[in-house]
Amino acid sequence: MSLSSSSQSTYISQKIDKGILGEELVAKWLNQQGWQILHRRWQCRWGELDIIAMKTSPFRDSSGQNFSNLPLLAFVEVKTRSRGNWDEDGLLAVTESKQAKLWQTAEMFLSDRPELADYSCRFDVALVRCNYTQKNSLFLITPSPEEQLSELTVEMGNSVELAGYQLTLQNYISSAFIVHLD
């Protein structure tokens, strides 16, 4: 990773939240894929949505035919894990109960935004590997993670250095689950 020495602002690292770093990485990747990030860490009484993204270009089915000109909303759950984790890099943490909470939270988000009611929606899961590479000093002055990411290109499976960690977007699962209402 090459950082510009002309970075104006500084970031005093304290305890780095690896989950937030993973979300930053996924948001950057989504932007590169043509998605607009509407919200990050949106919360209500049911829970939190890590990333809410919208894509406005027409969507095509597998035969190449347009099937929607309406924007698509993606509610993205990001799971950031280090090597040797117990839950298949976060995939097993998206249980049926977690899916139901995400569904309820998305419903709450949409209920406050009637202008989005006709958009297609889906639930995606992003799996990020995070490995520690250097000690985070309380007084280490570095560019913020956002500034560092602004100069990077994020590619699936390729690692980037960010805030003392090596991060890799391992998998992005579109339409990862469907919630069945009883």
The β-bridge relationship of strands 120-132 and 72-81 is parallel
Question: What digits encode the pLDDT tens for the residues 104-121?
Answer: 999 999 999 999 988 999
Neighbours of 11 (CB within 10 A): 16
Measured CA angle at 121 (ends 114, 28), to 5 deg = 105
pLDDT at residue 64 tops 70? no
Question: What digits encode the pLDDT tens for the residues 13-26?
Answer: 445 789 999 999 99
Measured CA angle at 76 (ends 112, 118), to 5 deg = 40
At residue 154, φ and ψ (nearest 5 deg) are -95, 125
User: Per-domain residue ranges for the chain?
Assistant: 11-173
CATH topology of domain 11-173: Trna Endonuclease; Chain: A, domain 1 (3.40.1350)
